Amino acid sequence: MTSQIQPKPLKGILPVAPTIFTETGAIDLEGNARTMDMMVDQDVDGICILANFSEQFLLTDEERKTLAEACLKKVAGRVPVTVTCSHFSTKIASERAKHAADHGASMLMLMPPYHGAALQADDSMVEHFAAIAKASGLPIMVQDAPLSGVKLSVPFLVRLAKDVPQVCAFKIEVPFAAAKLRSLIAAGGKSIIGPFDGEEGITLMADLDGGAIGTMSSALLPDLIKPVVTAHAAGDRKTAAALYKNILPLINYENRQCGLRAAKAVMLAGGVIKSDHVRHPLAPLHPATREGLLELAREVNPLALRWGK
């Protein structure tokens, strides 16, 4: 359906950047710029913006454009930037993709089109991704997450990768992710260039064992997750497991107790940003939950807890 390009694989740690707001809920462009600088200093291999963990569904279309342009300009090619362009409308997703490409994005990430219990992965979804690929000319990562409610089978993902070669990366966040990664890699072969772990790294070791070449965590502790990925890639599983064991309590607390609010809370405590505001209907962290998070963060001392001090 599209030209037979050979996308450049991204690997390693590609964390999601939170969207920073003021206490009144306005976009804080200065805070977002500082976040980009902090994430580069975390020695990440790339940054993902406007994802679910960026509160993308709480942003207006104009805010999305403003943030995409500001973040890409601030990063200025220091690391690759992935822009999330998920939308039910093929036309809107394609427009978002072209805008990202025009402003310097290196890759796109999309969930399948959803909003409807009867939606299935079928020809129309292949056409959806093909249109976005044509509009942008960029590699595409498929986000296989429960949030979409659309079941993406291994045969469908393999078909998608072969029919639309720009679809080359796959962020697997469903239950039994490691098993799905193994099956996807075995069935897709060279078409599966970028199998990735997600969900804050809560199943990272199993997913690396399953063939993931990287992870898309939050901005909370990528500087501490990267050594796990690096050691595993070098064949030193014992060291990777020991490093992961040390940070797993914080990853677990983020995933199970805080969600997207965790990174902001730690960044606020670390002087990176002035507010950890989340937009309604999301609620702020309970003070006890916040203290539990910071207690665990202080034990491992991620850069986000000290970057701005």
> Among all residues, which ones are annotated catalytic?
171
Distance CA 262, CA 285 (A): 8
Residue 143 host element (H or E):
strand 140-144
CB atoms within 10 A of CB 78: 14
For residue 87, the one-letter residue type is H
Give 3-state DSSP helix, strand, coil % of the chain, rounded to 5.
Answer: 50, 10, 40
Amino acid at 302: P
3-state secondary structure of 164: coil
Torsion of CA 169, 174, 178, 184, to 10 degrees: -50
- Under DSSP, is residue 108 helix (H, G, I), strand (E, B) or coil? strand
DSSP state of 256: I
H or E stretch including 36?
A: helix 29-41
Q: How far apart are CA 214 and CA 216, in angstroms?
A: 7
Cα dihedral 77, 309, 49, 29 sign: negative
- Specify the amino acid at residue 136: S
